[in-house]
Amino acid sequence: MSNKSENFGIIIGVISFIFLLFNFLIQYTFYKQVIFEKEYAVLIFISIVMLFSYIFIYKRIIQVLTIFISTIYTFYILNHFGLGMLELVILILLLDKYSIFKKRDILKTTILLTLFFILLVTSQLKNNALLIDRLYRYIYFILATILITFLKSNNISFKIERYTFYKNEISKLKNSLKLNQEILKRVNIDYIDPLEAGLSVAELEILENLCLYRETNAELATRLKKSTNTVKVQMKSILVKIGAETRYQLIDLCKYYYHSVGNIDPINGDRV
């Protein structure tokens, strides 16, 4: 992850501290005094943790847990909806920025929003308030959910594109498999690996040239600079080891192997 992403939490800490100082300035300007509210303690807590979390190895986890705990405290203990909603949006942004919800992030984000909505309702009940009271809170929560969904829209588009890509790739693989099956039907031979048959290096050389050029023993001897008798003896040994009766059956049994290593066409046996 880039330093730019990791500095995102620090930026939040700086903004929180500036917002706190701005509130103090407003109070002092209009009321000539500073009243320390409980929500200010939350802002100080966020600012301190966010600003100094960079010295720790697990800075991202510390930042996310800080916002998570402070959000629950703000909603449930302070019953401060405005600050709680701000913290909730910051929490979702952090989770998205740090890719903590890598798998099924949309589902996990939806579950998280649902849990906080339940927290909002229970905090109302805790303070003996009717659920219909302060209806604007629920409206703001819905609007925030829509905002978060919009922020996640890129992920949704990416997932749709990735699904389409994989679907096309699977279709290509299926077509390739059908083509290979058709090739095998056309070839209509058993596949034998000469290496597993226990052929020597000299025998493998003769077999490969036989499959590539389909020459007689004399022609193979000339090509490989060996005596005709040597090629004849080694050819008999190859036939026994492979289990073929004739050199033509030998070619049919082994030419697909040389196709698989990129030497010949398995259909007509021509060199490629």
pLDDT recorded at residue 248 = 84
| Residue 10: closest CA among 41, 51, 59 | 51
Q: How far apart are CA 200 and CA 204, in angstroms?
A: 6
| Residue 205: closest CA among 229, 235, 244, 227 | 235
**Helix or strand or coil: residue 42?**
helix
Residue 113, judged by CB atoms within 10 A of its CB (0-12, 13-18, 19+), counts as: middle
What is the tens place of the pLDDT at every residue in 200-255? 888 888 888 888 888 899 999 998 888 899 999 999 998 888 888 888 888 877 76
**Helix or strand or coil: residue 58?**
coil
**Which residues are CB-neighbours of 81 under 8 A, at least 6 positions away?**
75, 120, 134, 137, 140
What is the tens place of the pLDDT at every residue in 2-59? 455 557 777 777 877 787 787 778 777 877 777 777 777 877 887 888 878 777 777 7
Q: How far apart are CA 71 and CA 152, in angstroms?
A: 21
User: Domains (ranges, CATH) in the chain?
Assistant: 3-151 (no CATH), 189-272 (1.10.10.10)
Q: Is the pLDDT of residue 65 over 70?
A: yes
Place of tokens 């219909």: 132
Helix, strand, coil shares of the chain, percent, nearest 5, are: 75, 0, 25
pTM above 0.75, yes or no: no
What is the tens place of the pLDDT at every residue in 73-113? 877 777 666 677 777 777 777 777 776 666 666 666 677 67
How confident is the prediction for the chain on average, in pLDDT? 72
Given its phi and psi angles, is residue 191 left (phi above 0), alpha (psi -120 to 50 degrees) or beta? beta
* Tokens coding 238: 């190859």
**Which residues are CB-neighbours of 93 under 8 A, at least 6 positions away?**
8, 151
- Count of CB atoms within 10 A of residue 240's CB? 10
Q: Is the pLDDT of residue 264 over 50?
A: no
**Helix or strand or coil: residue 264?**
strand
